Amino acid sequence: MIRAALFDLDGVIVDTAKYHYLAWRRLAAELGFVFTETDNERLKGVSRMRSLDLLLEAGGFPENSFTATQKEELAARKNAWYVEYISRMTPGEILPGVLPFLAGARADGVRTALGSASRNTGIILDRLEIGTLFDTVVDGTMVTRTKPDPEVFLRCAARLGGIPAGECVVFEDAEAGIEAARAAGMRSVGIGTPQRLKQADLVVPGFGGITWQEIKNQLSTKV
């Protein structure tokens, strides 16, 4: 039986991935290289500092090209642009089908949680006006290890009153997030393509036209 639905934020509830990409691309341009959308895939779901390391690697910078202080400054510069972009978001940017899907799960008595690597989760939830749709929120300011470590999702389950991992399903768009769900011992639904999210129990392109009951039925046939 599934008693909890845990949702990633970026790429699942809202397409903030495009704003992350714009800000990282702007930083890359300042550093003198072009950062492609393909390179950006690897940054999805991973922490800000790890993302910076991946960006510098894509730019061909040898390890230790920057001191820790310089890296903090680069990450802060990127974050300032990112915050500028997301501060203009509106509830109209919630991805199609998300609100009815969440309502369907809640009407079925399922507890809901948001589990994000982002330290900007609070701003995004405020801008989208959806904070009250989640029984609990665990974000990048509350975990010590980021995805693919399972900490964020295990904390969600604990904060929902200790729901066993086997009774939780995670909705994720990033490979690192699907790995985190599996490491937690939870079921996972990938939001994207089966080619990219090979490890997910089920993959859907998005929440448009899909109901909670359909997902629940499909997962129960896979136990």
Active site residues: 8, 10
Q: Is 198 annotated as a binding residue?
A: no
- Identify whether the C-beta of residue 146 lies closer than 8 Å to the C-beta of residue 43: no
CA–CA distance, 190 with 12 (Å, rounded to integer): 9
The span of 31-39, 40-48, 68-76, 135-143 binding Mg ion (CB under 5 A) equals 40-48
- Identify whether the C-beta of residue 148 lies closer than 8 Å to the C-beta of residue 154: no
Could you tell me whether strands 168-172 and 187-191 are parallel, antiparallel, or unpaired per DSSP bridges? parallel
CA–CA distance, 49 with 24 (Å, rounded to integer): 12
3-class DSSP assignment, residue 117: coil
Could you tell me whether strands 136-138 and 4-7 are parallel, antiparallel, or unpaired per DSSP bridges? unpaired
- Residue 44 touches ligand G16, criterion: CB under 6 A: yes
- Residue 206 touches ligand G16, criterion: CB under 6 A: no
Among residues 39, 139, 151, 173, which is the contact residue for Mg ion, using CB under 5 A? 173
Distance in Å, CB of 188 to Mg ion, minimum: 12
The interface with ligand G16 within residues 88-147 (CB under 6 A) comprises: 116-120, 140
CA–CA distance, 81 with 24 (Å, rounded to integer): 9
Distance in Å, CB of 170 to ligand G16, minimum: 11
Binding to ligand G16 by CB under 6 A, coded x per residue (else -) over 161-200, reads: -------------x--------------------------
Longest dimension (CA), the chain: 53
Among residues 2, 11, 139, 192, which is the contact residue for Mg ion, using CB under 5 A? 11
Q: Is 9 annotated as a binding residue?
A: yes
Q: Where are the beta strands (DSSP E) in 39-193?
A: 111-115, 136-138, 168-172, 187-191
Residues that bind ligand G16 (CB under 6 A): 8-11, 20, 43-48, 51, 79, 116-120, 140, 174
- Binding-site positions for Mg(2+): 8, 10, 172-173
Residue positions forming the annotated binding site for substrate = 8-10, 24, 43-48, 51, 78, 116-120, 147
